[in-house]
Amino acid sequence: MTPAVFLAILWLVMASSSPSPDPILDAEWQKWKIKYGKTYSLEEEGQKRAVWEENMKKIKLHNGENGLGKHGFTMEMNAFGDMTLEEFRKEMIEIPVPTVKKGKSVQKRLSVNLPKFINWKKRGYVTPVRTQKDRCSGKQAN
């Protein structure tokens, strides 16, 4: 078998084994990408779309079961919809913790003669309680 024929067969096998995108979800995929500002290279687009579609299927299945009373909550697609579980863990859970350098401590020793009680309100460090509602809408708080 010539290398060209072998490569052609290999390409056909790979193309047939990779799932093709569901055309019914095309508009939803485009809307989701715009909503979350997602852009991909040509190589990455197909892979991310396949992951997104798989996650979308899980969400729709779950919500359908929820309608039958199986679950107590619904699910919705979010900005992480194009990530596999491994990608999500790496991005959101596996946070590197910096190592602590051993050396001399810079802390001051606490005074032994600390008072048992301090009234911070009398010292002016505590302010009266204020209503914070409507902070997000830009309205003046009381």
Q: What is the pLDDT of residues 39-50, one digit of tens each?
A: 999 989 999 999
The domain tally of the chain equals 1
Q: Which domain holds residue 87?
A: 43-96
Q: Assess whether pLDDT exceeds 90 at residue 11.
A: no
What Å distances lie between residue 95 and 6, 87, 88, 99, 118, CA to CA? 44, 13, 11, 12, 39
Q: Does residue 90 belong to any structural domain of this protein?
A: yes
Residue 54 domain-assigned (yes or no): yes
Q: What is the C-alpha to C-alpha distance for residues 12 and 38, in angstroms, rounded to an integer?
A: 29
Residue 76: CB atoms within 10 A of its CB come to: 7
Model's pTM, two decimal places? Answer: 0.54
Identify how many contiguous H helices and E strands the chain contains and give both numbers.
Answer: 4, 0
Task: Name the band, by pLDDT with cuts 50, 70 and 90, for residue 10.
Answer: very low
